[in-house]
A and B are shown apart, each in its own frame.
Chain A
Amino acid sequence: MIPQELKYTREHEWLAADGGEATVGITAFAADALGDVVYVELPRPGQAVAAGQPCGEVESTKSVSELYAPADGEVVAVNEAVVADPGLLNSDPYGQGWLFRLRLASAPELLDAAAYAALTGEAA
C-alpha cells in the first residue's frame, strides 16, 4: 500500500512536507527491492543537498543503492535510530525508518501517490 498523503520521486524516495520542512525516506517498494538493509549512510545535518543528487547510500546483503535528495535544501536532522538499526527501513519504511529532515529551498517537483503507483505497478 502506498500512503496517499506522501509525495514521491522516481528514485523511490518519499517526502512528507510540513511548512518549509520535509521528512524524507525510501519507499516500501525500494526497501523490498534492496532486501534486508544492513547499512545506511545519511547526509550530515547542515549539509546542502540538491534535488536528484546522491546524498547517501543504502546497503543490503545483496546490493548497494544510492540515496538521492528529493529536493533542494539543507539537512536539519537525521534519524540516528535507522543508522543504528537499518532493519527499520524494511520493517517500517514510512514510519520509524525515516531517514532525514530537510529545510526546503524551493518547492520540489514530485509524484503523487497515484503517479508513483503507476511507476511501480502497485496498487495506490
Chain B
Amino acid sequence: MLTPFAGWTMPLRYGSELAEHHAVRGAAGLFDLSHMGQLEIDGADAAALLDHALVGRLSAVQPGRARYTMICAPDGGILDDLVVYRLEPHRYLVVANAANTAAVFTALTERAAGFAAEVRDVSARWALIAVQGPRAAAILAPLTGADLGSLRYYAVDPAWLAGRPVLLARTGYTGEDGFEIYCAPEDAPGIWAAVAAAGTPHGLVPAGLACRDTLRLEAGMPLYGNELTARVSPYEAGLGRVVALDKPDFVGRAALAARREQATEVLVGLVSGGRRAPRHDYAVLDPDTGARVGTVTSGAPSPTLGRPIAMAYVAADRSATGTVLAVDVRGSRETVTVVELPFYRRTQEGR
C-alpha cells in the first residue's frame, strides 16, 4: 500500500506491517528510503562551515565516519535532525529529512557566506536502500568485497555491492544493526533485487514506512515533525548531547546556552497498562486532578513489547522515571508510567 509522503509516493507497507516489524527485529528488513535528501558540502572550509552552521563539532569527525547532529535556528529551535557523513577531509554528505531538505539547503547556503565551501543539493543523484536487522551483515557479505566486520557503527565507506558502486554506511533508524546503501538511482532496482534475493533465505522482507515508525519509536528515536520541531531545542528533546556548546561560535549558540538552563518541558517515554495507545497530540494529564501536564508526540501499540508506548513532552517536574500520569485517549483516561528511553534496546551491539 502506497502513501503520499513529502512529495514522494512511499510504500506504507508491503504486506503486514506487524510482520515487517518483527522481521526487522528478528531477521532483516529492506527499506526504500530514496526520499531522504542529500546535500554535499565541498571545499577547503567544509568542516569550518559545518561547525558554524550545525550544533555539533563536525570538524572532529574522522573521514569515513558519520555523526548524528542537528541544524538549529538562531533562536535554538530545531530546523532538522541530520546524519552527516565525512566522505573526505573536505567533503561531507548531509542527509536531511525529505520534507526539510529545501529548508536545510537554504540555511546552509546562507550560512556558507564567507566560507570557501560549496553547498549542493544532490538528492536526485542518490537513491537510498537500507538493510536493517540482526541478519543484515550476513545478507550483504556475499554481495560485496567490503570487510563488513571492520565497518563499525556510524562508519561509511565507498564499496562495490552487487557489482555496482555504492556508499555503504552502518547507520539506520530502527534500533537494530544494519546498513544504509547510497547508490545511483539507475542502480537501485538491481541492488534491491540482489539484496532481496540474498536476504530471503535469511528471513529478510521488504519493509515500509509504517513499521519504520514503530521500530524507531521502540528505539526511542525522535521523528522530525513529532518530537522535533522548530519550537523545541535539542535540550528539551533530551538530545543536548549533540550540542557542542564549547565550540567558539555557531548559529544558535547564545539561545541554546540559555535554553539549556530553562527547559520547562522534557521528552519522556510512557508505557500504558491499557490497550488503547496514546497518539500524537493527545493530552497528558495529572492522574489525580486532571490538570494538563504535557502532550504526546508519538504513540503506538508496541509490536515488540505487546503494549502501548508513547513519547511525550511533560512538565519537567513530572518527568522522573516511575511517575504515574494519565493520557486522554479520545475522552477516556488511560494510566501511563514514565519510563527511561529507549523502550527497546537490542541485546548485541553493532560494532
Contact = CB atoms under 8 A, between A and B. Distances in A.
Interface of A: 32-33, 35-36, 38-39, 41, 57, 59-62, 64, 90
A64 B330 contact: yes
B18 interface: yes
Interface in B65-93: none
Interface string B1-29: 10000000000110011110100000000
A29 B18 CA distance: 18
Contacts of A35: 1, 12-13, 16-17, 210
Contacts of A33: 1
A61 B214 contact: yes
B304 to A, nearest CB: 11
A39 B276 contact: yes
A54 to B, nearest CB: 10
Given A41-B276, A61-B301, A61-B303, A36 B17 contact: yes
Interface residues of B, number: 20
Nearest to A91: B16
A60 B275 CA distance: 11
A39 B210 contact: no
Contacts of A36: 16-19
B300 A39 contact: no
Nearest to A35: B17
A41 B17 CA distance: 21
Given A32-B1, A39-B301, A57-B330, A62 B17 contact: yes
Interface in B192-224: 210-211, 213-214
Contacts of B324: none
B336 interface: no
Contacts of A62: 12, 17, 210, 213, 300
B35 interface: no
B18 A61 contact: yes
Contacts of B330: 57, 64
Contacts of B18: 36, 38, 61
- The 7 tightest CB contacts between A and B, nearest first, are A36-B18, A38-B301, A39-B275, A62-B210, A35-B17, A61-B300, A36-B16
Interface of B: 1, 12-13, 16-19, 21, 210-211, 213-214, 275-277, 279, 300-301, 303, 330
Contacts of B19: 36
Contacts of B12: 35, 62
A35 B37 CA distance: 28
16 contacts: A32-B1, A35-B12, A35-B210, A36-B16, A36-B17, A36-B18, A36-B19, A38-B18, A57-B330, A59-B276, A59-B277, A60-B17, A61-B211, A62-B17, A64-B277, A64-B330
B17, B18, B279: residue with the most chain A Cβ atoms closer than 10 Å = B18
Nearest to B274: A39
Contacts of A60: 17
Contacts of A41: 276
Contacts of A59: 276-277, 301
A57 B275 CA distance: 12
A17 B16 CA distance: 31
A32 B13 CA distance: 11
A33, A35, A36: residue with the most chain B Cβ atoms closer than 10 Å = A36
A61 B17 contact: yes
Contacts of A38: 18, 301
Contacts of B276: 39, 41, 57, 59, 64
Given A32-B1, A35-B17, A36-B17, A64 B301 contact: no
Contacts of B301: 38-39, 59, 61
A39 B17 CA distance: 15
A32 B276 CA distance: 20
Contacts of B210: 35, 61-62
A39 B16 CA distance: 16
A2 B16 CA distance: 21
